[in-house]
Structure 1
Amino acid sequence: MTAITIAPMVPSDQSVALALPPDTDLETWRAIGQTIAAQHRNTGWLVGDWLNFGKAQFGNQAEMFAVELLGEPKSARQLAALCSAFPSDRRNPALSQQHYLAVRDLPAPDRERLLSQAEAERLTPRDLKYRAAARKAEIAPPLIPEADLDYAELMAIVRAWNRASSGPRREFAELMSESDYGIIEA
C-alpha cells in the first residue's frame, strides 16, 4: 500500500471535498475510510473536552467563544456534559458519542454492562437506546403510585375540561348529568 495524505481540497469557501488520485487501490481507499471514520467518531469527544477545559480555565468567555465558533451551543454543551460523565479513561474508541448518550442516564453498572454489550454485539446507537430505555423502565419507580390513581384520573379529566371551549363543556355536562355517573354514550 502506498502512503497517501488525507487532506481536504477546498475549491471555495463554500465547500470541502476529499480528492483522491484516480489510481487509488481498494486497500488504500478502505484505509482512508477507516481513518476518516475514526476521526469522525472522536471529534465530539475532542469538542467536549476542549469546551470543558475552556470553561474551567476561562469561565463564561469560553462558552461565548464556543457559541461563536461552533454556532450550536446546545450540542456543544451536550458534548461537554457527556465528556464530564464519561472521562477519557471510560471511553471506548469503538463506540460513538451516540452510544454513550443512550446510556448516560443509567446507573454506572448498567452503563458499563450495556456499553460492553454494544461493543461485543456491534449494536447501533439506536439499538442500544432501546436496551437502555428497557433498563430504565425496569429500574424506575412507577410514574403514578397506585394509591394516587384516582387522583391522577381526576386530574386528567380536569385538564381535558380546562382545554375545552365552552360549547363542548356544556355538552359534556349534559351527557354527564344524564349518565347518573355511569358510562357516557356519545
Structure 2
Amino acid sequence: MTTASSHEARSKGPDDEAAPRDVVLPFVGSQATVRKTGMAFPADLSQRSWERIGTSLREFTNSSAWWLADWLLFGEATYGLRRYREAIDRTGLDYQTLRNYAWVARRFEQHRRRAGLSFAHHAEVTSLSAPEQDYWLRNAEQRKWSRNELRRAVRAGLAEQRETPRPAEAAGVDKGRGRATTLTIELSAGQLEHYSQVAAAHGLPVDKWVTQVLDAADRRIA
C-alpha cells in the first residue's frame, strides 16, 4: 500500500530542485519577490518604491565588482591562489574578467574608492598616476560625469598634454648642451599632495610639472 507521504517523496524529482527560489535582498524587503531568474512586483507598488529599488540595484551591481575583486585578492594573499582556476570555478566568470577586477582593485586602496562613482569609472583611470586618478575621479563625481564622459575628458586631457611643447623646446634650448642631473626637494606630506593635485590638473605627473615651473621661472628672470 502506498501512502500519500511516500508517493510525494517518490514524485519529487529534478524539476522540483530546479524550481525558482526566493532570494533575500534587504533593500527590496516585501515590496517585490526576488528570484535568481527575475523579480516580480505587486500591481500597487508606488513609483517612489520602484525608483528606490532601481537605485539600490545600481549600487548593488556596482559594489559587487569591488566585492569580487577584494575576494579574489584575499584568496591570492591568503591561500596562494595564482592561476585563478579556483576563482573561475567558484564564480563562473572568465579569466580576463577576474584579472581586470583584480587589476582595478590593486590600483585603488579601499579608502581611495569613491562610492558616488561606478567601478567602471575607476577602471577608466587605472593607467594614470594616483594624483591624476584622484583629480579625474573628483571631477567626474562633482560634475556627475558618466563613464563615457570621463573617458572623453581624460583622452582630451592626455591629447592636450602631448600637443603642448615642453618649456625647453619652446624656448629653443639645446638639450645636448647639458647633462641630466637629479634635484632633491624636501616637501611635507601636505605640500606633496597639493602639488600633485595641481600637476594632475595640468595633465602631468608632479616631477614634469615642477620642471615646467622651474623652466618658466628661468625664462622670466632671463
What are the within-5 Å matches in structure 2 for residues 89-168 of structure 1? 89-139=111-161
Q: Deviations over 1:153-176 (max 9, x none)?
A: xxxxxxxxxxxxxxxxxxxxxxxx
Unpaired runs of 5+ residues, structure 1, are: 11-15, 143-186
Asked if the contact 1:45/1:79 (under 8 Å) is kept, the reply is yes
User: Residue type of the partner of 1:100?
Assistant: H
Q: Is 1:21 paired with 2:47?
A: no
Q: Is 1:8 paired with 2:34?
A: yes
Give me the TM-score of the superposition, normalised by structure 2: 0.56
Deviation at 1:61, TM superposition (A): 6.5
Deviation at 1:122, TM superposition (A): 0.8
Give me the TM-score of the superposition, normalised by structure 1: 0.65
Distance 1:6 1:45 in 2: 26
Q: Is 1:60 paired with 2:59?
A: no
> 2:105 maps to what in 1?
83
Distance 1:45 1:80 in 2: 9
Q: What stretches of structure 1 move > 4 A for 4+ residues in a row? A: 138-142
The alignment's C-alpha RMSD in Å is 2.4
Identity of aligned residues (%): 25
Q: Deviations over 1:56-95 (max 9, x none)?
A: 1112367211112333111111111111110111111111
Distance 1:109 1:58 in 2: 32
Higher helix content, 1 or 2: 1
1:48 to 58, 66, 69: 69
Unpaired runs of 5+ residues, structure 2, are: 1-27, 165-222
Asked if the contact 1:54/1:62 (under 8 Å) is kept, the reply is no
User: Residue type of the partner of 1:107?
Assistant: S
